[in-house]
Amino acid sequence: MFQKSLFIIIFSALAFTMAALAAGEEGEKAVNGGELYRLNCSACHGLDKKGNPPVFPSLLNLAERMDSKQVSSQIRNGKNAMPPMSHLTDRQVEAIVAYVLENKNESVSVDENERGAMLVSGNCMRCHRVKPGDPAPPEARMMEPPMLSRTVRWHDSAGFKAVLDVGPCYMPSFEDMPDSDKDNIYRYLSSIPVDSSFNADRGHRGCRMQRGAKKSGRCGDGRCGGGKCGGMCGGGR
């Protein structure tokens, strides 16, 4: 529920700003510091920057503890459960730092692939790794959900969107996310190489686990409650 209303807020705000700002090159849109924060950071630190301590620290009054160099380095390199945001350009990092430290709204351009990467780090990496080497996702419970760069090898785009709409097990539904953003996510994830030993036919372990769990009326750690585990898992199989 929280996630759902979060998305309504994020995307109505975005739609408004984007309509107001002229688009630059094709596929590029001007996005300001506040929107960059919403895309990349708010799923963990909250739209209001209050976080969710103790796991996700509050970023209020951040300037009292950190300077711009430290904040940009933490965004770039991550720290413990905070993933490194290597998809951000220097300008985008600067705009985010200005927003979290000084509430400034600097405008920068973002293309569709970058937008896909932002949506993933901001919304999915709480629970999913994207590729090997990513930090352990802080909200993954029991068996970790599958690595996202792999899921696009066994789901076509329609199947992938169906998963996002449903939200299997404890994954929230992203039904309210615009279709174009689901495409941006799919395209971005497909652009990440998987190692040659990876086999999409054998890599699909997530759903099998869920099916077994559902049979016993539990989903994962049972937190989904009463056997109601969000309906389907994935797009078939």
Interface residues with ligand HEC (CB under 6 A) are: 40-41, 43-45, 55-57, 59, 62, 65-66, 71, 74-75, 79-83, 85, 96, 100, 121-128, 138-139, 145-146, 148, 151, 155, 160, 163-164, 168-172, 174, 185, 204, 206-207, 209-210, 233-234
* Shortest spacing between CB 22 and ligand HEC, in angstroms: 25
Q: Which is nearer to ligand HEC, 29 or 129 (CB)?
A: 129
- Is residue 226 classed exposed, middle or buried when 0-12, 13-18 and 19+ CB atoms within 10 A define those classes? exposed
Q: What is the DSSP letter of 21?
A: S
**Among residues 59 and 108, whose Cβ is nearest to ligand HEC?**
59
158 dihedral zone (left: phi>0; alpha: psi -120 to 50; beta): alpha
CA distance 104 to 219: 43
Q: How far is the CB of 205 from ligand HEC (least distance, A)?
A: 7
At a CB cut-off of 8 Å and minimum separation 6, what does 139 contact?
126, 127
CB of 196 to ligand HEC, least distance (A): 21
Minimum distance from residue 126 beta carbon to ligand HEC (Å)? 5
Instruction: Give least dist CB 83 to ligand HEC, A.
Output: 5
Q: Which is nearer to ligand HEC, 20 or 62 (CB)?
A: 62
Instruction: Name residue, tokens 């490194």.
Output: 84
Minimum CB distance to ligand HEC smaller for 29 or for 145: 145
Q: What gap in Å lies between CA 175 and CA 158, rounded to an integer?
A: 13
- Considering the complex, what minimum distance in angstroms separates the CB of residue 217 from ligand HEC? 16
Nearer to ligand HEC, 10 or 123 (CB): 123
Nearer to ligand HEC, 29 or 100 (CB): 100
Secondary-structure percent of the chain, ordered helix, strand, coil, rounded to 5: 45, 5, 50
- Tokens of residue 96, six digits: 């985010």
Q: Which of 153, 225, 227, 166 is nearest to 192 (CA)?
A: 153
